[in-house]
């Protein structure tokens, strides 16, 4: 990878939209970048597409690139429009539903990788 990497989100969205297989649960996704402790995942949702309740062992940011998402956390709905970002602490259960066709960039800062790196440095 070298010292830097440029990601072309529009190209990645086009790739997802043009996949030959059907969307699963109304969404498609591709991991754009994974290098400890960070993972970036791009999601393209059909209207009504969902990610069921789940948790991540890291700090999560959900950035809506276009469209509108409803994020449910502990029984509370959070409506996010294009240009908004939601941050979640580690191990917070949440689900995602696209109110309209939407694109989302998910970033996870994995806690176990950070802890392992700190332990290695301290040893």
| Confidence (pLDDT) at 1 | 58
Q: Which of 45, 8, 33 is nearest to 107 (CA)?
A: 33
pLDDT for the residue 36: 86
What are 85-98's pLDDT values in tens digits? 999 999 999 999 99
The pTM of the full predicted model, rounded to 2 decimals, is 0.84
CA–CA separation, 114 and 55 (whole Å): 17
Q: In what order do the strands lie in the sheet with 27-35?
A: 27-35, 38-45, 102-110, 58-66, 85-88
Six-digit token pair at 7?
A: 């990601």
Domains in the chain and their CATH numbers?
9-122 (2.60.120.10)
Using CA atoms, how far residue 110 sits from 35, 37, 100, 117, in Å, is 10, 5, 29, 11
Burial tier of 24 (Cβ tally within 10 Å: 0-12, 13-18, 19+): exposed
Q: What is the rounded average pLDDT of the residues 21-48?
A: 93
pLDDT digits (tens, 9 = 90+) for 11-27: 999 999 999 888 889 99
Position 93 scores a pLDDT of: 95
**12 burial class (0-12, 13-18, 19+ CB within 10 angstroms)?**
middle
């Amino acid at each position: 990878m070298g010292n830097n990497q440029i990601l072309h989100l529009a190209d990645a969205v086009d790739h997802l939209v043009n996949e030959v297989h059907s969307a699963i649960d109304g969404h498609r996704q591709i991991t754009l970048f994974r290098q400890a402790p960070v993972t970036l995942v791009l999601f393209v949702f059909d209207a009504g597409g969902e990610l069921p309740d789940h948790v991540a062992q890291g700090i999560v940011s959900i950035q809506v690139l276009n469209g509108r998402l409803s994020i449910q956390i502990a029984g509370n709905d959070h409506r996010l429009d294009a240009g908004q970002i939601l941050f979640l602490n580690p191990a917070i259960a949440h689900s995602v539903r696209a109110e309209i066709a939407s694109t989302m960039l998910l970033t996870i800062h994995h806690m176990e990788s950070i802890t392992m790196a700190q332990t290695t440095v301290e040893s």
